[in-house]
């Protein structure tokens, strides 16, 4: 796609300084701008790029502009970051959405598909599945029986939804994520572990995004639940009967063990592990790689394995780093003590 | 499916207290019971639910019953947990199994498929593959050449089995797990890393269950082996030439590096890492997030990174948590010592 | 396939001791040799196997040979390890490569496919995709629009390449790896998190190998980059706008957060986490499970979470292990100090 500077300025009510006919065909990060590309400068610390960038058109926050003219076309706006975001959203929308049923998609006769739905080649839709209006399902997706998928969702290629799971509206699930595989439940016997049937499901509420290669297990009985607006990164494990509230962000490779209950607006770092059967409150922050093995109250900030108060962990870790010196101090004290005893 | 209280009592030899015609259409965890659902109470600490639960039918351990009648139908049994398990297994069986070959499944002419097998749409079965009786293979599975799959297995949608791997009887492999990808073996040269061909395979013995999104690499030469009855959770890495014994449980996101040998009946926690070329004995317990970098003897309990005796780790970690106080004590000792020296 | 000892000796210029007509039908690790198999002995510490191995043919480094004849056929070479590698590579090549387009593969009419390409059943090739000569793409692969794949690549079953990503020559990507899923970028608002469009792509340079079940996210704007010759194990997370240089090796389950820049020839251990927006130099070694949260200089060796100098970490960890004794020493000092004060 091609845009002129004047078209772009029109989208975001910007003021053009320079050639309004300058054309851009792509977008660059400001640090690696290319001729023919658009970028933006919103912060003082990137202001040098206004002159040095190779981009043909720059969106710049007004307060950062100091000259009458520049070597490239400038679009002046109040908040360049915000304007750029608006533009990127517009651009994303312009790319359009997929629709129609591709050859090779397979539907059970009892499935019900809404309007303006896209279903890609080789996707399998099982019996009694319901798919809401405007939902896009890429090729190679498997949707088990009695699954319900809401409106305006996107399921990318290779997503697997096991039987009886339910997904709300406006959800995005990236490639190869698995929703509803059996929880890890076995009863030890002297002859080996006996499987405990996993008869529940997974319920995902509206506006949830889940990254690629995640595993979200079904409840043993009852549901594993992901609350409204929660965002889940890649390669994340959510075990059976976990209940996650609203508007959480969970970074890549975190894992949450069975039956744990998590509130709202928490931030869970990458590679964090949370044991089973505990409660995490609201607005808790858990630093990357922490191992949480007990309940967390609202607003706590946790770090370490096992996780403790993050400030405390950092202070103690400083002492850990000085451990060799600390031992020397103890040695000296012992020597002095001995000297005194020998006096 | 619908069941009456009397049908259910019949399955588990229970005694009905209340309406034997009460009908249930689903199952709830006791904490979130619903009208028209079945649940169970097996422990004293849940006894209050016998009165308060909204479930229409409850299976209850006899010893917990104190009244002549209840607001719902009670099915009294000796051990409600056990009876409930029996019921869940029955229910699972009643749901039936899939069978038949769906349109779009592709078989090489040299493949041999047993009786009463299910193969889903778009599954690819390569040359000389053998599939045992009663095995169910969901859509979008890839089975490389010369693979052998035993009887009564279930491979869910998106499983990938590379050439020459072998899977025993009664195995379950969940969606998007990969069996037999190349081990991570490269020879450094001054021009870069040169690939070492990975010519072995993976051998999975009977009664193994593997969760979703696992990666189990083939041996460089020889086999990567998963022993009988071992249960593997989601997102787990098993590197080339690892040998795992019988009846181990390995929790989500654990990783085992190349050529390590693991005995029987071990419990490996979530996000545990085990380095390559070591030996883990039998009945070892490894706490979540531990990093094991040396051999472990039978019965050891390990924790920490690097992992040490779990009790020792916990005691030391308590001191770590008090590190700031400990430093204050040392400061005081030093002050006192100086005072004395100055006396 | 069957080979005689004389054929094998021919491939590697070896000298036969024993029956030149001995036939092998497989290959074993030396520790578990089988009759009819080939193996090798290159190191003194395995020399006992020259006599005890059940293999029918052994390749042995000359310097390890002490007798005139052996119970099996010996092929003497200068460096048995090297010769065995040559043989394994030959064997791998002999197994041949796949070619041709299988029934069920789907191509957009604007896609361009090179010569001698293999595309498996049910693989989807979208508009304007270009696939180089000699590339092999297994069944069930999804290739989004405008993707470019170089020459002589192998993409195994279930790989997903999102729109606009680019892959160089001689790359290998194992099953169920996802390239180009959306970066994890959201703007908090009082009503929840708003998605920041992820409009960049992923660029993978020549000679890269990526294991199974990896997630490599596209840049927000600009590219996520994997440099030439870098080797990536299984279940690895590479976040948006990460730049990885040449000839790195990254072990399983490691994760690299957004916008971090990594140089050349680094070794990153299993389950390592690297935070976003930092710089890792060249020839850095990061021990397994470490958490790197600040820049690393060339040649550093790091360990711990947060990661520090590995030697320092190990020394401090020894003190950590002795913490209970250290506390006893402090207790004693305090007692002595008190005694003195009371004197």
* B46 has a chain A CB within 8 A of its CB: no
C137 chain-A contacts, CB cut-off 8 A: none
> Which residue of the set C140, C205, C240, C277 is catalytic?
C240
Q: Does C63 touch chain A (CB under 8 A)?
A: no
Please state, in angstroms and as integers, the Cα–Cα distance from residue C30 to each residue in B165, B247, C47, following that order: 20, 27, 10
- Indicate yes or no: CB of B156 within 8 angstroms of CB of A140: no
Q: What pLDDT, on the 0 to 100 scale, is given for residue B338?
A: 75
Give the per-residue pLDDT at A343. 52
Rounded Cα–Cα distance for residues B62 and B113 (Å): 49
pLDDT for res A266 = 98
Query: Hey, which residues of A are catalytic here?
Result: 240
- pLDDT higher than 70, residue A342: no
A213 touching C (Cβ < 8 Å): yes
**Do B190 and B172 form a contact (C-beta atoms < 8 A)?**
no
Q: What is the pLDDT of residue A118?
A: 98
Quick one: pLDDT band at residue A168, thresholds 50, 70, 90?
Answer: very high
Reply yes or no on whether the pLDDT at C134 is more than 60: yes
Please give the mean pLDDT across all residues of chain C: 95
Closest residue, chain A, to C310 (C-alpha): A321
The model's pLDDT over A293-331, given as tens digits with 9 standing for 90+, comes to 999 999 999 999 999 999 999 999 999 999 999 999 999
Among B176, B285, B313, which would you mutate to test the A interface (most chain A Cβ atoms within 10 Å of its Cβ)?
B176
Nearest 5°: the CA angle C44, C56, C62 is 35
pLDDT tens per residue, range A327-341? 999 999 998 887 766
| Residue closest to B37 by CA, chosen among B28, B48, B47 | B28
Tell me the backbone φ, ψ of residue A31, rounded to 5 degrees: -70, -20
- What value does the mean pLDDT take over residues A231-241? 98
Q: Is the pLDDT of residue A117 over 90?
A: yes
Chains that touch A (3 or more CB pairs under 8 A): B, C
Is the per-residue pLDDT at B343 higher than 60? no
Q: Are C228 and C208 in contact (CB under 8 A)?
A: yes
pLDDT tens digits, B125-141: 999 999 999 999 999 99
C57 prior amide bond cis, ω within 30? no
Residues with Cβ within 8 Å of C272's Cβ and at least 6 positions away in sequence, in order, are C251, C254, C255, C286, C287, C288, C289, C290, C291, C292
Contact check, Cβ <8 Å, C156/B162: yes
User: Residue A2: pLDDT above 90?
Assistant: no
Could A178 and B121 be called an inter-chain contact, meaning their C-beta atoms sit closer than 8 Å? no
Please give the pLDDT value at position B342.
58
Mutate to test the interface with A, among C157, C158, C234, C237 (most CBs of A within 10 A): C237
- The answer to whether residue B158 neighbours chain C at the CB level (below 8 Å) is yes
Q: What residues contact residue C332 under an 8 Å CB cut-off, 6+ apart?
A: none
Two tokens at B29? 């965890």
Tokens 């981009």 — which residue?
Answer: A55
Q: What class, spelled out in words, does domain B3-94 have in CATH?
A: alpha beta
* Closest partner CB to A140 (pick from C140, C257, C275): C140
pLDDT confidence of residue A315: 96
In 3D space, the residue among A217, A172, A216, A225 whose CA is nearest the CA of residue A198 turns out to be A217
Q: In percent, how much of chain C has pLDDT > 70? A: 98
Domain spans in chain B, listed from the N-terminal domain onward: 3-94, 100-312, 313-342
The yes-or-no verdict on residue B9 having pLDDT over 70 is yes
| Pairing state between β A172-173 and B231-232 | unpaired
- Prediction ipTM score: 0.93
The pLDDT of residue A341: 60
Q: Report chain A residues whose CB lies below 8 A from the CB of C214.
A: 213
CB A203 within 8 A of CB A211: no
Rounded to an integer, the average pLDDT of B75-82 is 94
Q: Tell me, what's the pLDDT at B31? A: 86
Q: Is the CB of residue C253 less than 8 Å away from at least one CB of chain B? A: yes
Q: Taking CB atoms and an 8 Å limit, are B249 and A193 in contact across chains?
A: yes
For the sheet with A178-181, list strands across it.
Answer: A106-107, A124-125, A142-143, A160-161, A178-181, A215-217, A237-238, A255-256, A273-274, A291-292
User: What SS3 class is residue C327?
Assistant: helix
Cβ-based burial of A271 (10 A; exposed 0-12, middle 13-18, buried ≥19): buried
What pLDDT is attached to residue C96? 82
- Tell me which chain A residues have a C-beta less than 8 angstroms from the C-beta of C292: none
Q: What is the pTM of this model?
A: 0.94
pLDDT tens readout for residues C32-88: 889 999 999 999 999 999 999 999 999 999 999 999 899 999 999 999 999 998 999
CB contact at 8 A, B261 and B247: no
The SS3 assignment for C320 reads helix
Helix count and strand count (H, E) for chain A = 5, 40
Is A335 in the B-facing interface, judged by CB distances under 8 Å?
no
Contact C91 B199 (CB under 8 A): yes
Q: Is residue C255 helix, strand or coil?
A: strand
Q: Is the pLDDT of residue A213 over 70?
A: yes
* C121–B contact, CB cutoff 8 A: yes
**Is the minimum CB–CB distance between A156 and chain C shorter than 8 Å?**
yes
Q: Looking at residue B4, what is its pLDDT?
A: 94
Q: Any CB–CB contact under 8 A between B267 and chain A?
A: no
pLDDT digits (tens, 9 = 90+) for B246-272: 999 999 999 999 999 999 999 999 999
As a whole number of angstroms, the distance between CA A237 and CA C336 comes to 53
Q: What is the percentage of chain A residues whose pLDDT exceeds 90? A: 89
pLDDT confidence of residue A93:
83
Name all chains with 3 or more CB-CB pairs below 8 Å to chain B: A, C
- The CATH code of domain A100-312 reads 2.160.10.10
**Which tens digits make up the pLDDT trace of B190-208?**
999 999 999 999 999 999 9
Give the minimum alpha-carbon distance from C98 to chain A in angstroms, rounded to a whole number.
Answer: 22
The C-alpha atoms of residue C154 and residue C166 are separated, in whole angstroms, by: 14
**Residue B277 among the catalytic residues:** no
> With bands split at pLDDT 50, 70 and 90, how would you rate the model's confidence at C91?
confident
Lowest-confidence segment of A36-40, A177-181, B336-340 by average pLDDT: B336-340
> Which residues in chain B are closer than 8 Å to A186, comparing Cβ atoms?
209, 231, 249
Task: From residue B205, give the alpha-carbon distance in Å to each of A270, B131, B243.
Answer: 34, 15, 11
Partners of residue B213 in chain A, C-beta under 8 Å: 176, 178, 213-215, 235
For residue C201 the two structure tokens come to 């792509």
pLDDT digits (tens, 9 = 90+) for C202-229: 999 999 999 999 999 999 999 999 999 9
């Amino acid at each position: 796609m091609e845009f002129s500077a004047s078209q772009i300025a029109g989208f975001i009510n910007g003021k053009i300084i320079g050639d309004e006919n300058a054309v851009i065909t792509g977008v660059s990060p400001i640090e690696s701008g290319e001729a023919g590309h658009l970028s933006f400068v919103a912060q003082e610390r990137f202001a040098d790029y206004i002159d040095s960038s190779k981009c043909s058109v720059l969106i710049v926050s007004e307060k950062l502009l100091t000259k009458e003219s520049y070597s490239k076309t400038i679009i002046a706006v109040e908040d360049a970051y915000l304007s750029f975001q608006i533009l990127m959203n517009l651009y994303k929308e312009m790319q359009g959405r997929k629709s129609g049923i591709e050859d090779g998609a397979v539907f059970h006769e009892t499935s019900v598909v809404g309007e303006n739905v896209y279903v890609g080649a080789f996707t399998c839709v099982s019996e009694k599945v319901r798919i809401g209006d405007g939902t896009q399902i890429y090729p190679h997706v498997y949707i088990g029986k009695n699954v319900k998928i809401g409106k305006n969702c996107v399921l990318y290629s290779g997503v697997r939804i096991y039987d009886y799971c339910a997904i709300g509206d406006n959800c995005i699930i990236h490639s190869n994520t698995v929703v509803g595989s059996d929880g890890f439940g076995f009863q030890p016997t002297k002859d080996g572990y006996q499987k405990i049937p996993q008869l529940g499901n997974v319920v995902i509420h509206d506006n949830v995004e889940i990254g690629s290669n995640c595993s979200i297990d079904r409840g043993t009985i009852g549901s594993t639940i992901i609350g409204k607006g929660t965002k889940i990164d890649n390669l994340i494990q959510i075990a059976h009967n976990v209940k996650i509230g609203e508007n959480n962000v969970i970074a890549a490779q975190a894992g949450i063990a069975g039956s744990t209950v998590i509130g709202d607006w928490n931030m869970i770092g990458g590679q964090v592990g949370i044991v089973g059967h505990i409660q995490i409150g609201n607005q808790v922050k858990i630093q990357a790689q922490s191992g949480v093995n007990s309940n967390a109250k609202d607003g706590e900030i946790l770090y370490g394995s096992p996780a403790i108060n993050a400030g405390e962990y950092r202070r103690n870790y400083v002492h850990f780093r000085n451990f060799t010196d600390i031992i020397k101090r103890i040695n000296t004290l012992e020597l002095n003590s001995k000297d005194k005893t020998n006096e």
